[in-house]
Amino acid sequence: MHRRLYRYNNRSNHGKYHTRVPGLLDRKKHLRYPNGAFLLQSGEDREAMDFLKRNKVDTAS
59 part of a folded domain: no
Report the pLDDT value the prediction gives residue 44, as an integer from 0 to 100.
66
34 part of a folded domain: yes
Q: Which amino acid is it at 57?
A: V
Could you tell me the pTM of the whole model? 0.56
pLDDT, tens digit, 9 for 90 and up, residues 17-52? 999 888 888 777 777 788 777 777 777 677 878 888
11 part of a folded domain: yes
Domain total in the chain: 1
Q: If we measure between CA atoms, which residue out of 29, 30, 31, 10 comes closest to residue 19?
A: 10
60 part of a folded domain: no
Tell me the residue range of the domain where 9 lies. 2-54
| CB contact set of 49 (below 8 Å; sequence gap of 6+) | 59, 61
46 part of a folded domain: yes
